[in-house]
Amino acid sequence: MGDAMKVVKSLYFQIICAVLLGVVVGHFWSQQAIALKPLGDAFIKLIKMMIAPVVFCTIVTGIAGMSDKRSLGRLLSKTMLLFLALTVISLIIGLMSVYLFKPGAGMNIDPTQLSTQGLSQYTDSAAKLSVVDFFMHIIPDTFIGAFNKGEVLPVLFIAVLCGFALSSLGERGKPVLEVLESASHMVFKIFSYLMRFAPIGAFGALAFTVGQYGITSLGSLAKLIMTLYIACAFFVFVVLGSICRAHGFSLWKLLRYLREEFLVVLGTSSTEPVMPRMLEKLQALGCKKGVVGLVLPTGYSFNLDGTAIYLSLAAIFIAQACNIDLTLTQVITMLAIMLLSSKGAAGVTGSGFVALASTLTVIHDIPLAGLALLIGIDRFMSEARALTSLASNAVATVVISLSENACDRKVLLQTLDGKPAQTQTPATDSSWDGTKVAKHI
């Protein structure tokens, strides 16, 4: 009886029930379900409210606790190289899957007959995206302005500067560091309160999605959705699984350890609501705060592998549907552009769709009007993008931590096995000398 009550009270069980209930309500009471959209929106807004302070406190205290600041450059370069490699692999997997399953073949769509109603919000956002604008956006207008919109990269930029400044102050900076350590505990406690509303948020978001678009509305585009899910599953279980095995831990156990976070992402189609909890749980695996605080938030903007798979797959799908044959040169050019557009859309609402729009506005080989084929089902594909990106960033954080000797392997393995770690690394331990590298990625 006690075990049953423990399961019922667990967040994991509550979210599963909320997701299933949301699908049922959305299918049978669609009009009422559409009105539940504010529940999901409110939950995401509550969590986004906490992202900036969580990221700031985690990164500042992490960097200030490093005993070897020169290792930061190596950490960042290694992280970006891993993200680049994963993105290239993701684009290729999306490309191979769409050519293998050919979901758009035989549709014989005339792009001039497609309705572009509803595309303006995405094409307008895509027109604003450029490499220069993306990097300029990292620098906030004011110091406090970095926290106004809750965007990760400006906060990350300010936090790195503050971390180095506090570290260089030595003893004089310790009072501020202690305040930030206490503030870090406070914001994580607030976040734990807010996570209790996760089942309500997941219920509202799923009910709205099914009520708005309907399960039966997938129709002929079901093959495209299935192709995307197969491609994402291949990337997660084959590519990420191989990386995990090479570094001595189990992907399946890691996914099981993060099951509550994946259910929240499944319900909300966004990885942002789980970022604070991911920071906390990855530290509990034995990974040092300084490494986790840098790698995970950076991955949220530079390691969108689910989006990368979607970009190459969706672009070729439109070409197949419109009977457009692309040359090898055109495909390679498209992939090169997608390497940038998949990063430039980070933090934009409907980022995957915006990134696709920005790609098509540049290459001109695939009609922009073809986006109309996807707009009705994009919400169903966004779950796959978000889940894949979250899994990739979790694996990347653990792998980078291990390669930098910034992760207690014993704690990692014991925690993934569900056993209490005997030498659990405390959340406040931000030390990381980075002077020893276990092995390169």
For 231, what's the count of Cα atoms within 13 Å in the CB-facing half-sphere? 35
**Residue 406 confidence (pLDDT) above 80:** yes
Q: Return the pLDDT at 99.
A: 92
Q: Return the pLDDT at 96.
A: 94
Q: One-letter amino acid identity for 357? A: A
Beta carbons of 92 and 238 less than 8 angstroms apart = no
pLDDT band at 392 (very low <50, low <70, confident <90, very high): very high
pLDDT band at 244 (very low <50, low <70, confident <90, very high): very high
Q: Is the pTM of this model over 0.85?
A: no
Could you tell me the two tokens for 384?
């796959």
Beta carbons of 72 and 298 less than 8 angstroms apart = no
Q: One-letter amino acid identity for 209? A: T
Averaged pLDDT, 139-168: 78
Could you tell me the two tokens for 291?
């490494």
How far, in Å, CA of 68 to CA of 52, rounded? 26
| DSSP3 helix / strand / coil % (the chain, rounded to 5) | 75, 0, 20
Q: One-letter amino acid identity for 364? A: H
Residue 421's CB: how many other CB atoms inside 10 A?
18
Q: For the chain, how many helices (H) and strands (E)?
A: 22, 0
Q: Return the pLDDT at 321.
A: 83
Q: Quote the strand ranges of 190-238, DSSP E.
A: none
How far, in Å, CA of 231 to CA of 98, rounded? 9
Averaged pLDDT, 415-433: 58
Averaged pLDDT, 218-222: 60
Could you tell me the two tokens for 316?
């070729």
Q: 7-22: buried (b, 16+ CB within 10 Å) or exposed (e) per residue?
A: eeeebeebbbebbeeb
Write the pLDDT tens digit of every residue in 116-130: 444 444 445 444 555
Q: Tell me the domain boundaries of the chain.
A: 2-416
DSSP annotation of 287 reads B
Q: Return the pLDDT at 268.
A: 74
Could you tell me the two tokens for 135?
């990097």
- Averaging pLDDT over each range in 96-105, 235-244, 281-290, 360-369, which range is the top one? 235-244
Q: One-letter amino acid identity for 436? A: K
Q: Return the pLDDT at 70.
A: 64
Beta carbons of 354 and 125 less than 8 angstroms apart = yes
Write the pLDDT tens digit of every residue in 71-88: 777 888 888 899 999 999
- Which residues have CB under 8 Å from 120's CB, separation 6+? none
| Percent over 70 (pLDDT), the chain | 76
Could you tell me the two tokens for 6?
């423990």
Averaged pLDDT, 160-177: 82
pLDDT band at 187 (very low <50, low <70, confident <90, very high): confident
Could you tell me the two tokens for 273?
């609501």
The domain 2-416 is placed in CATH, from the list 1.10.3860.10, 3.30.465.10, 2.60.40.10, 3.40.50.1100, at: 1.10.3860.10
Beta carbons of 370 and 321 less than 8 angstroms apart = yes
Least confident of 95-99, 334-338, 365-369, 407-411: 365-369
Q: Return the pLDDT at 122.
A: 47
Q: Return the pLDDT at 426.
A: 41
Least confident of 7-21, 85-99, 192-206, 239-253: 7-21
Averaged pLDDT, 123-147: 66
Averaged pLDDT, 200-215: 74
Q: Which of 379, 20, 366 is CA-nearest to residue 221?
A: 379
Beta carbons of 377 and 210 less than 8 angstroms apart = no
**Residue 267 confidence (pLDDT) above 80:** no
Averaged pLDDT, 272-285: 86
Q: One-letter amino acid identity for 423? A: T
Q: One-letter amino acid identity for 60? A: V
pLDDT band at 348 (very low <50, low <70, confident <90, very high): very low
pLDDT band at 333 (very low <50, low <70, confident <90, very high): confident
**Residue 146 confidence (pLDDT) above 90:** no
Write the pLDDT tens digit of every residue in 20-50: 888 788 878 878 888 888 887 787 777 777 7
Q: Return the pLDDT at 133.
A: 65
**Residue 193 confidence (pLDDT) above 50:** yes
